[in-house]
Structures are given as structure tokens and as C-alpha cells.
Amino acid sequence: MIDFADAAERARLSASAIHVFMNVVREWKLTAEQARGLLGVDAPTYRAWQADPHGTTLDQEPLTRISLAIGIYKALHICQGEKLADRWVTLQNRGPLFAGQAPIDYMIERGQAGMKTVRRLVDSWSAGN
């Protein structure tokens, strides 16, 4: 298991994590504001990470959020059709968890805790539960 508290591990993983996250952002067609909201960072920080991911070592919080987003992406691609998998996070959802809100808004509003909840939900779908 990877230890995000370990600075050397974070340094090793940061550039590739940012790169994969940016790919997820493109696939989900998120705005820069939505992407920043998922990461919990301000605009200058987000732009710096985009411009030079190799010069960045992420803190534990944004690396955990990126890991959650990647897990959500993967689980959606396992349990949804290709077209819905990438649209699902931005569609309004009438399910009891979201109450008409899009999952992206739910996750941004609730931060890492909201992302963990969505991750558990989609993981349960991909496991057939």
C-alpha cells in the first residue's frame, strides 16, 4: 500500500498523478473551476501544477483527492457504458445521495469526504452490489 504521508512517495507519484488527473478532467469535460474544486486548491496553484507537474510535490490532501478521482473514473468505466461513464459526474442525479445535484457539485461541496462517499458508491456498483 502506498503511504501518502511519506514525502518521498509523494514526490515520486506527484507528476504522474497530476498528469492522470488532467486526463480525467478532460474526459469528464470539467471546467478549471470544477477541477480546482475537486482538488481543493486555488487558481494559481492549479495553473502551476498544469504548467509544470514535474516540478511539483503534492501534499497528502490533493494527492488523496486525485487518487479518489482516478478511482471514481475507473469504477465508472467498469460499471457504466463508455458514454455515460464520462458524463455521469456532471449529470443531475435524482438518487437520494445527490437529491438532484450533479455528483461533481456534491464532491466539490463536501470535499474529500464527499469524494470518498462517491468512490464507495461507484465501487459498490462496479463490484455488482
Tell me which residue range forms the domain holding 91.
7-126
Q: Where residue 82 falls among pLDDT bands split at 50, 70, 90?
A: confident
In a domain? residue 2: no
How many other C-beta atoms can be found within 10 angstroms of the C-beta atom of residue 31? 11
11-29 tens-digit pLDDT: 999 999 999 999 999 999 9
86-127 tens-digit pLDDT: 999 999 999 999 999 999 999 999 999 999 999 999 999 877
Say how far apart CA 80 and CA 85 lie, in whole Å.
5
Whole-model pTM? 0.94
Domains held by the chain: number: 1
Amino acid at position 47, single letter: R
In a domain? residue 1: no
In a domain? residue 114: yes
In a domain? residue 26: yes
